[in-house]
Amino acid sequence: MWEIRRYPALWLLPALLPVALMTLYPVAYALWTSLHSVMLLFPGEPFVGLDNYLRVIQSNYFQDALTNSLAFTAAAAPLVVVLGTLIALFLRRRFFGVQVVRSIVLLPWVLPGAISAVLWIWVFHPSFGVLNGLLRDLHLIEGSIGWLTSPRLAFVSVVVAHVWTQIPFTVVLVMAALAAINPETLEAAAIDCKSAWRRFWYVIFPEIKAMIVVLIVYNALTAFTSYDLVYAMTGGGPGTATTLLSFQIWRESFSMYDFGAGSAVAFIVVLISAVLILAITRALPSDLFGSE
Amino acid sequence: MAGRANPWTTGLFAALILLFTGGPVLLSLLGSLIPDRVLLDQGSSLFAEGLNFDGYRYVFTGELPRAYQAENANRAMISDAARQVPASLVNSGIIALSAMVLNILLGAPAAFLFARYLFPGKKLSFLFLILSPLVPAVALVTPIYIMLQSMGLLGTRTGIILVHTARALPFTVLILSVFFRKMPAELFEAATLDHCSRFQVFWRIALPLALPSIGATGLFAFMLSYSEYMFAMVLSGDAGARPVSVVMAALARNTDVSWSLLNTAIFIAIVPTLVLVVLVWRFVVEGLLSGSVKG
């Protein structure tokens, strides 16, 4: 590591400026808009204080959407991390065809959310979905189960689909954390500790704990702000069963043309996310990306 | 984690993982080859009808599938959106390639500095870079829409390229700096002793040596752009700039569309990503995994 006295702007700004332009400025803009009445139909943008926030919080959808978003987050984030860790542990083994399995696991990562949604509609569709067909062929059910039409099952279905899209990233990062463990530690553990579960709990888990915490918070954030997959699968229905808070930013801004209220919802989402980000920075070990 | 476990349980777990992650994709391949009649009509079986490639022919040539050429067929089930798929693949290719090139041009110098130098404000800049992707995209859509509108970039590929580049840059810098850190320090020390300037060290030594890693990181940026949906949808408008994710969403929301046609479109859209998966795994992930061993 060599030292440079002055801030090397020429090297860094080409990377930092576009990022700032697409994050800092929009966030500041959302804050400003949320405090003003910005509607396409009315000229002028008077300052209204916290009016937009009050209106949004008191509106009939807010409570449902917030509850759904939090429930969605609480269900999806732990599931992704637990499943992802199990798969990562499994894929560290050497067996015939492990390279193929490792590649296939990445598949959901590169699919646009809209395509993933169609794939999962295809699985869950009440009348000709694969899942109902399979259950019928096994004579487990008589008629068909309304996976996407009953409120509770629709919620379960979108959680399953969301978990599917998020697994690859978690698998890769947990595998990276596992690869970083000193091999001698593992050899010693293999000799001292016969039970695989105890070996995981007392030796491996402490080593990857930091990564797991980061992943839980990251996944909580992703779930809390997810938009396209759930929307494309159910459109928020049936009723409001799968309406998430993030849809409302959209609805207020682009279908009601009330940019003030839309920005207020956006800023509420940012605030709740900020709490999660704070948790991340606390949990994030400063040497996560290695400083030699 | 030695591989001494029972081969049967190993096989079972592998099969379960494959079924969960790859199953839905396999279904769509099957669905694209099975005529609609088999799906919708319990009476006709797959063996009587056979597989066919009519869906693929329609997407690329516009020739209606045989089943829909009959007098009273429901033509509404054949959506024009499916015919936009090849053009949208071209759009996606242009957008993702440009985002990839811009990411490398803008990100590589910063990654090199983060990996090799200490400077005032390093920690703050780095923190900004790793935290900025965490700001939810949904919250940014409206301001960015208005910003690009005032720049006259709505409905153009340039606007989407700009946003995708900025969204991928933090990841590019992070991954590239891991790769730069893996290079032996002696190389750079020797160059410095020979009075190479910082730019010469970067341009003559670091860059050529890191070329494979740079390609890999570029693939990652490509992938992020290719699969991004929300910004692409808002910013492309109705114009011919629509990338494949937007066209797919439009197709999926049309509930009347023929299932075999829908699956055909999906599968065509998936093929480039199948190639990407293999490339990304081989070059990015394996690289990162071996990187963290030494880290």
pLDDT tens figures, A148-203: 777 888 888 889 989 988 888 888 878 877 877 777 777 787 787 777 788 788 87
Q: In chain B, what residues touch A243 (CB-CB under 8 Å)? A: none
Is pLDDT above 80 for A26?
Answer: yes
Query: Domain range holding B48?
Result: 7-80
In a domain, B241, yes or no: yes
> What does pTM read for this prediction?
0.78
Does the residue B264 lie in any domain? no
Position B149 in a domain = yes
Cβ within 8 Å of residue B172, ≥6 positions away:
A15, B103, B104, B107, B111, B217, B218, B220, B221
Shared domain for B97 and B208, answered yes or no, is yes
Based on the fold, state whether residues B124 and B193 are members of the same structural domain. Answer: yes
Establish if A278 touches chain B: CB-CB under 8 angstroms: no
Residue A48 falls in which region: left (phi positive, over 0), alpha (psi -120 to 50) or beta: alpha
Has residue B266 been placed in a domain?
Answer: no
Q: How far apart are the C-alpha atoms of B181 and B41, rounded to whole Å?
A: 60
B197 vs A contacts (CB less than 8 Å): none
For residue B244, give both structure tokens. Answer: 């494949």
Beta bridge partners of B118: A3
For chain B, 295 residues long, give each residue's pLDDT as a single digit of tens.
Answer: 444 567 777 788 788 888 787 887 777 777 767 666 555 555 555 555 555 666 666 666 656 555 555 545 555 555 566 677 778 888 888 998 999 999 999 999 998 888 888 888 888 888 888 778 777 777 788 888 888 888 888 888 888 999 999 988 988 888 788 778 777 777 777 777 777 788 888 888 788 877 777 877 787 788 888 888 888 888 887 767 788 878 877 776 666 666 677 777 777 777 777 777 677 666 666 666 665 444 3
Residue at which a domain ends, from B53, B80, B107: B80
Question: Residue B129 sits in a domain of what CATH number?
Answer: 1.10.3720.10
Is A205 within 8 Å of chain B by CB? no
Element (H, E) at A213: helix A205-225
Using left for φ > 0, alpha for ψ between -120 and 50, and beta otherwise, residue B141 falls in alpha
- What is the token pair recorded at A282? 């606390």
Q: Are B222 and B168 in contact (CB under 8 A)?
A: no
Residues B112 and B202 in one domain: yes
**Residue A81 reports pLDDT greater than 60:** yes
List C-alpha distances in Å: B137 to A206, B16, B211: 33, 33, 31
Nearest-angstrom CA–CA distance, A244 and A248: 7
**Domain membership flag for residue B278:** no
Share of chain A above pLDDT 90, in %: 3
Question: Residue B29, exposed/middle/buried by CB under 10 A (0-12, 13-18, 19+)?
Answer: middle
> How many domains in chain B?
2
User: Which of B30, B54, B80 finishes a domain?
Assistant: B80
Question: Which ranges in A92-150 belong to alpha helices (H)?
Answer: 98-105, 107-110, 113-124, 130-137
Q: Is B118 found in the same domain as B57? A: no
Q: Quick check: A15 and B110 CB within 8 A?
A: yes
| Distance separating alpha carbons of residues A124 and B50, to the nearest angstrom | 24
Residues 6+ positions from B291 with CB-CB distance below 8 Å: B178, B179, B181, B182
For B231, the closest chain A residue by CA position comes to: A228
**Average pLDDT value for residue range A74-82:** 89
Quick one: pLDDT at residue B103? Answer: 93
- Residue B287 inside a domain? The answer is no
For chain A, the average pLDDT equals 79
Name B31's Cβ contacts closer than 8 Å, sequence gap at least 6.
A122, B39, B259, B260, B262, B263
Indicate if B186 and B246 belong to the same structural domain: yes
Domain map (residue ranges) of chain A: 23-61+260-287
| Yes or no, beta carbons of B289 and A176 under 8 Å apart | yes
Q: Are residues B129 and B229 located together in one domain of the fold?
A: yes
User: Chain B: nearest CA to A178, how far in angstroms?
Assistant: 9
Shortest CA gap A139–chain B (Å): 16
Partner-chain contact B292 A273, CB within 8 Å: no
- Give the range among A83-87, A259-263, B26-30 with minimum mean pLDDT: B26-30
Is it the case that residue A67 has pLDDT exceeding 80?
A: yes
- The DSSP line for B170-218 is HHHHHHHHHHHHHS-HHHHHHHHHTT--HHHIIIIIIHHHTHHHHHHHH
> What mean pLDDT do residues A9-30 have?
86
Q: Strands, DSSP E only, in chain B?
A: 117-118
Q: How far is B138 from chain A (nearest CA, A)?
A: 7
Inside any domain, residue B269: no
Is B119 in the same domain as B148? yes
Same domain, B141 and B67: no
Question: What is the Rg, in whole angstroms, of the alpha carbon atoms belonging to chain A?
Answer: 23
A103-157 residue pLDDT tens:
778 778 777 777 788 788 878 877 767 777 777 777 777 777 777 777 888 888 8
pLDDT, tens digit (0-9, with 9 covering 90-100), for A28-60: 888 888 887 777 667 777 777 777 788 877 877
Q: What is the pLDDT of residue B49?
A: 52
| B293 within some domain | no
Q: So what's the pLDDT on residue B248? A: 77
Q: Which residue in chain A is spatially nearest to B15 when comparing CA positions?
A: A101
User: Is the same domain home to B74 and B86?
Assistant: no
pLDDT band at A255 (very low <50, low <70, confident <90, very high): confident
